Structure 1
């Protein structure tokens, strides 16, 4: 990777308020998407906090921990996925990931970074246009979401909404 492209790629990611997909970056720099994947790997090896999501790459800033977080344990079918995700984002939550506790493999997680209805719609469109099978299928619908919000009160609203939908699992 050229030093110039490396610096510009890092600057683009740091300045962006939303994820930037690999194809857009490839077109911007006039290289292939595979070159961008390699560039991202090199930047990570140099210590840059770059996260891959289903929407693209995000630079993780040091102030990302200034929000309230809560882990929600939920259970529902794939048919209720949209209802669950919208209940979270409509109440001020940002869905960081999905996790399952697999009996053989242990914890398995995938980053989601869903922050609004548009993100949820895009995620569901991607799922519908692929051979998608949710992680929660491996655990009979039981899964966890780490949710970030501006306040504990927002997290309480999310918990109440998930409970009212019958999705919240109380241990």
Structure 2
């Protein structure tokens, strides 16, 4: 199988799958290294394919009925609570974005859909002793939230506001 044929097969597998597929699983299926799959997916993206990497593997980007960008601020130990509040209110956390003074906007695709994804994210965070992007900006970050109805968005905003995570009208006055 040529690399072009393999990329075509990867497209086919991902477009018909209901669940994300890991690079390792694709590597096993096509008898190549995981790094080869990572390169193949990068080439597919460069060619315009809307493939995203999630905690559980690759998938085609799903288009939500509605999206909103919410500005949040909290300490790192509040991350799991913030995520749980969003998904329990019916939202999907599509990404996290911070404004870095050197690099500009830094964005990470998350695709956190349920409590299982939240738990997986938190476990990987601890296992890898990783740092959150929001640690670069004193906790301030945005999330693109996918939701189905305006009632869900209102519930998401209300629960984040109740926890003190929703960052709104926090302007410092000039004294």
The count of aligned residue pairs is 168
> How many Å separate the matches in 2 of 1:101 and 1:34?
30
- Which ranges in structure 1 are unaligned for 5 or more consecutive residues? none
> How many Å separate the matches in 1 of 2:36 and 2:151?
44
3-state SS of 2:48 partner: coil
Relative distance call for 1:45 and 1:108 in structure 2 (3 A) is: closer
Quick check: 1:50 aligned with 2:44? Answer: no
Match of 1:121 in 2: 119
Relative distance call for 1:107 and 1:46 in structure 2 (3 A) is: closer
Check conservation: 2:55, 2:117, Cα contact below 8 A.
no
Return the match for 1:163 from 142, 145, 161: 161
The alpha carbon displacement at 1:3 in A equals 4.3
User: CA RMSD, aligned part only?
Assistant: 1.6
Scaled by the length of structure 1, the TM-score of the pair is 0.91
Relative distance call for 1:74 and 1:20 in structure 2 (3 A) is: same
3-state SS of 1:10 partner: helix
Check conservation: 2:96, 2:109, Cα contact below 8 A.
yes
> How many Å separate the matches in 1 of 2:49 and 2:66?
24
Match of 2:66 in 1: 68
Relative distance call for 1:103 and 1:6 in structure 2 (3 A) is: closer
- Which ranges in structure 2 are unaligned for 5 or more consecutive residues? 170-175
3-state SS of 2:52 partner: strand
Single out whichever of 78-87 and 7-16 deviates more from structure 2.
Answer: 7-16
Match of 1:22 in 2: 23
Relative distance call for 1:85 and 1:31 in structure 2 (3 A) is: same
The alpha carbon displacement at 1:52 in A equals 2.1
